Amino acid sequence: MQHYYFDHNATTPVAPEVLRDLTATLVEVSGNASSIHHFGQAAKQRLENARREVATRIGCDAREIVFTSGGTESDNLAIFGIARRVIVGSAGRARKHVITSTIEHPAVLNACSQLEREGAEVTWLPAGPDGIVLLSELKRALRPATVLITIMHANNETGALQPIREIANLAHTSRAVFHSDGVQVAGRIPVNVRELGVDLYSISGHKFGAPKGIGALYVRKGIPLEPISFGGHHERDRRAGTENVPGASALGRAAALAADWTGTVVLRDRLERGILDRVPGTSVNGSVEKRLPNTTNIRFDGIEGEAIVIALDLRGYAVSSGSACSSGAVEPSPVLLAMGLTPEEARSSVRFSLGPENTESEVDGLIEAVEASVAHLRRISPALRHA
């Protein structure tokens, strides 16, 4: 049986060109980028070429790019790197207030929870039913002690796009640093960090054709960032440890080759409309206007999302019931709960995230598979039989 992939927000296939670059670097570039001999300098050149390619993709200077192991490390470096600095206000008291939202990725949610355990104050902004952070609540939360605002660019479950430019303006008016988790955006749709106004921006390679285990953090020039790991003077003293040259080179290649995913909106809308028209008791979670072009999150009344995921997998279609980082969790999605869904509604939701390689025929096959799977699950559901 052939299998079709509709879970690109979890990860993406490694692009063939990127794989060739990764393999070639592993074979041909054996030196440590910190060494001054021929082999080391060859590695250094490959590393810096990759840094320029990533910087070009997001519109910044190459010196503002820090290579990391992925989105989680980038988020942690940004959050702890700012919040753990002791910044003293005019009254002589430490400024230790952080603002985030209730719909963030666990890499941000759990980092901010750790800050609370370390004594920082954290304000958790709510989101509306559309999955978008309420700017009115952000304005209300700002205070002189605010050192950091961390709000994602696009939500991994609903695809909802956040008002990044407006948040950046509010942050800078209050002299706070603004970090955005751009993992679901960078390498997919055009991003210019200068235009967005962000100070820190997280990237993960495996979301747009690079291998897992490599990412980057944009750090705007002049932003003081404390390291969270200690060792040598790598990455301009911002991230210790011998650089992953093959991974960085692959990330750079993926950034240079990155496709514009805006075209997936046509197939996403075809999939969404087909399901809503042919499957009773369905609705879209979150904004249908301000979201990623490849993502739809659909609720199926009375059916467990996990059951639909399994049923579709048996028919050859890979989808998700939420964040891949929460796979195996029995609790309903915190993101959907934060948007006002009941636990039952959150559990009955499925995420479909397309990629550039998906085709119209694959989408039509998925619609048929969803219709058949849901009809079968509803027939065998005791609760629905006796409703």
Q: What CA–CA distances, in Å, run from 154 to 182, 195, 225, 241? A: 7, 16, 24, 30
Decide if 283 contacts 349 (C-beta within 8 A): no
Name the pLDDT band for 85 (thresholds 50, 70, 90).
Answer: confident
DSSP 315-350: TTEE-BSS-GGGTT--SPPHHHHHTT--HHHHHTEE
Give 95's pLDDT tier (boundaries 50, 70, 90). low
pLDDT of amino acid 311:
98
Residues of the chain by 3-state class (helix, strand, coil), percent to 5: 45, 15, 40
For residue 124, what pLDDT is reported? 98
DSSP 261: G
Domains annotated on the chain, with CATH: 4-12+261-385 (3.90.1150.10), 16-257 (3.40.640.10)
pLDDT digits (tens, 9 = 90+) for 303-345: 999 999 999 999 999 999 865 555 555 689 999 999 999 999 9
Per-residue CA distances from 244 to 215, 251, 346 (Å): 10, 10, 39
Over residues 377-386, mean pLDDT: 72
- CB count within 10 Å of CB 260 equals 12
Q: What confidence category does residue 90 fall into, taking pLDDT thresholds of 50, 70 and 90?
A: very low
192-229 tens-digit pLDDT: 999 999 999 999 999 999 999 999 999 999 999 999 99
Are 108 and 122 in contact by the 8 Å Cβ rule? The answer is: no
Nearest to 70 by CA among 148, 182, 150: 182
pLDDT, residue 310, reads 97
Supply the mean pLDDT for the chain: 94
| pTM, two decimal places | 0.94
| pLDDT score for 381 | 75
Is 325 in the active site?
A: yes
Q: pLDDT-derived band of residue 89, with 50, 70 and 90 as boundaries?
A: very low
**Per-residue DSSP letter, 206:** G
Cβ-proximal residues to 177 (8 Å cutoff; 6+ apart), any chain: 82, 147, 148, 149, 171, 199, 200, 223
pLDDT at residue number 94 = 60
What was the pLDDT predicted at 386?
Answer: 45
What average pLDDT score do residues 159-174 get?
97
CA dist., res. 381 & res. 66, Å (int): 51
Residue 237: which pLDDT band, with cuts at 50, 70 and 90?
confident
Could you tell me what percent of the chain has a pLDDT over 70? Answer: 94
pLDDT tens-digit readout, 45-77: 999 999 999 999 999 999 999 999 999 999 999
pLDDT tens digits, one per residue of 251-305: 999 999 998 999 999 999 999 999 999 999 999 999 999 999 999 999 999 999 9
Q: Virtual CA dihedral for 12, 14, 18, 19, nearest 10 degrees? A: 170
Sign of CA dihedral 16, 21, 24, 25: negative
Contact of 157 with 322, CB cutoff 8 Å: yes
Q: How does pLDDT run across 6-32, given as a tens digit for each residue? A: 999 999 999 999 999 999 999 999 999
Active-site residue (options: 265, 284, 318, 325): 325
Residue-level pLDDT at 227 = 94
Q: Report the 10 Å Cβ neighbour count for 113.
A: 14
User: Rounded mean pLDDT of 356-365?
Assistant: 97
Mean pLDDT for the stretch of residues 230-238: 90
pLDDT above 90 for 384: no
> Which residues have C-beta within 8 Å of that of residue 111, sequence separation ≥ 6?
75, 76, 79, 80
Cα 59 versus chain centre, distance: 19
In terms of Cα–Cα distance, which of 200, 211, 248, 215 is closest to 68? 215
**What pLDDT score was predicted for residue 329?**
54
Percent of the chain with pLDDT over 90: 90
pLDDT at 330 (0 to 100)? 60
